[in-house]
Amino acid sequence: MTADSAFVARDPAAHPPALTPIYKTSVFRAPHRPLLSLGNTLSEVTGPVFAQHELGPLDADLTRNYARDGGAPIGERIIVHGRVLDGDARPVPGVLVEFWQANAAGRYRHRNDTYDAPIDPNFGGCGRCLTDAEGRYAFRTVKPGPYPYRNRGNDWRPAHIHFSVFGSGFAQRLITQMYFEGDPLLRHDSILQTVADPAAQERLVALLDLNASVPLHTLAYRWDIVLRGRRSTLFENRLQRN
């Protein structure tokens, strides 16, 4: 295996298909033609590289990165942390992890969000960090509230945090959502149900992690992210190098 080894193919069972009528917007935004399978070329095994100095000191602290003069957002203070691993359980260090979410009332700071729950003047709702040498990421925030949206007549999103993850190659690029252990809305959520396999749904749920909490201050949740691994092809690379 070398730095330019191809990634293992995506397991279709791990992901939602494009067309999932329970989530209505997918009906006109799903390609009808099958995807064209492409063995990784150099364009897919490479991807953008980011450096720590590009980030600000408060970028991973959503309780402070939009707070006004000594203020703080209202809500349940939490730490969210975990590791970014590949399919061989190896840490993926130095990759950019970005996250965004609604405030404690379920309202997004976005010009198109018309939900009438209040904006929190001390909460922006986004952050980012780089994974460390062991693939760890961590950020501090307030737990987001559920959020109603126009899908079926009375659909509510469970509390969730959106994640965007870069790997070491563009083929590992992933955007997903993290949910919270024990949320009764999970079994009603149309978007989580786009993933057919209950075991795969389970992998999107963060667990309460009392060991990582700060006593008398902040609760913690743990959620690990797995990106595609590299192929350790025994013969193909040798052929390529002939």
- Whether 142 and 159 have beta carbons less than 8 Å apart is answered as no
Choice from 64, 72, 156, 176 touching other proteins (CB under 8 A): 176
Q: Is 232 in the site for other proteins (CB under 8 A)?
A: no
Q: 111, 84, 86, 78: which is closest to 98 by C-alpha? A: 84
The nearer residue to other proteins, 43 or 76, going by C-beta atoms, is: 43
Q: Is 241 in the site for other proteins (CB under 8 A)?
A: yes
Residues 62-91 that bind other proteins (CB under 8 A): 65-66, 85-89
CA dist., res. 172 & res. 54, Å (int): 22
Q: What is the DSSP letter of 57?
A: T
Choice from 136, 162, 188, 231 touching other proteins (CB under 8 A): 162
Q: Is 193 in the site for other proteins (CB under 8 A)?
A: no
Residues 18-47 that bind other proteins (CB under 8 A): 18, 20, 23, 25-33, 35-38, 40-47
What tokens appear for 69 in the block? 């003069």
Cβ atoms within 10 Å, residue 220: 20
Q: What is the DSSP letter of 24?
A: G
The nearer residue to other proteins, 28 or 215, going by C-beta atoms, is: 28
Q: 152, 174, 151: which is closest to 164 by C-alpha? A: 174
Check if 160 is active-site: yes
Looking at 10, 15, 108, 231, which residue is catalytic? 108
CA dist., res. 102 & res. 119, Å (int): 9
Least Å from the CB of residue 83 to other proteins: 10
Least Å from the CB of residue 92 to other proteins: 12
CA dist., res. 208 & res. 83, Å (int): 15
Least Å from the CB of residue 77 to other proteins: 19
The nearer residue to other proteins, 73 or 229, going by C-beta atoms, is: 229
Check if 149 is active-site: no
Choice from 52, 154, 211, 242 touching other proteins (CB under 8 A): 242
Choice from 72, 91, 93, 109 touching other proteins (CB under 8 A): 109
Check if 157 is active-site: yes
Q: 214, 209, 65: which is closest to 129 by C-alpha? A: 65
CA dist., res. 26 & res. 12, Å (int): 17
What tokens appear for 43 in the block? 């364009």
Catalytic residues: 108, 147, 157, 160, 162
